[in-house]
A and B are shown apart, each in its own frame.
Chain A
């Protein structure tokens, strides 16, 4: 059975802090790993990672994958209140199967 474990489950930080969110996984026929941000409703796509060791960046967010150790991290620097959300990790295994973790709930306080 495919497994995804995200940590921490929740995190409260002050604006300007840097945070690191963790995702470890065990999936059959691993193809890629996706990160999503979920605020009130639909998850919105952040990154898709397919290769180990190659950092993907988008503004203050960055992510990297380690396929040997089966984990990924999502970093957010200089956090803002608008970063408050649940961050979901979803490895892509069998051709159509995204297995979602429970998410990390990030709260950024002014």
Chain B
């Protein structure tokens, strides 16, 4: 399988649940990203990992917790979310985070928080 994959594709959860989103890239890239896309708003960068180290956290609430165990996998752990967290969560990867490089996106996880 090639490219960037994300699971699950759809997720419905209650505010007290704990769930995780998974991203896997098969491109040999060294940088991975989590974005949030809400209706009628631009894509918002949440987290950046480069060589498995977090290099940026754009003031994301602590109810979102990323994990990057290796350069091919990225997780987003979710707990006690709010309805306004419902959105499309996109994972992306690039060769590295220093160069002017294209970010390739996964298909996203559509999250609904009830």
Interface set of A (CB-CB < 8 Å, partner B): 4, 31-32, 34, 36, 41-45, 48, 50, 88, 90, 92, 95-103
A31 to B97 CA separation, bound complex (whole angstroms): 12
A41-B108, A96-B33, A96-B50 known; A102 and B100 CB under 8 Å?
no
Q: A residues within 8 A CB of B55?
A: 96
Is B70 interfacial (CB 8 A cutoff)?
no
A96 to B99 CA separation, bound complex (whole angstroms): 8
Is B31 interfacial (CB 8 A cutoff)?
yes
Of B41-49, B60-68, B78-86, which stretch is located at the interface? Answer: B41-49
Q: A residues within 8 A CB of B1?
A: none
Residue contact B97 to A95, C-beta cutoff 8 Å? yes
Interface set of B (CB-CB < 8 Å, partner A): 4, 31, 33, 40-43, 45, 48, 50, 55-56, 88, 90, 94, 97-100, 102-108
Please name the residue on chain B nearest to A42 by beta carbon. Answer: B105
A88-B43, A96-B33 known; A42 and B107 CB under 8 Å?
yes
A42-B90, A103-B42 known; A48 and B102 CB under 8 Å?
yes
A95 to B94 CA separation, bound complex (whole angstroms): 11
Q: A residues within 8 A CB of B100?
A: 31-32, 48, 50, 92
Min CB gap A104→B, angstroms: 12
A32-B100, A92-B100, A97-B45 known; A43 and B105 CB under 8 Å?
yes
Residue contact A42 to B42, C-beta cutoff 8 Å? no
Min CB gap A18→B, angstroms: 26
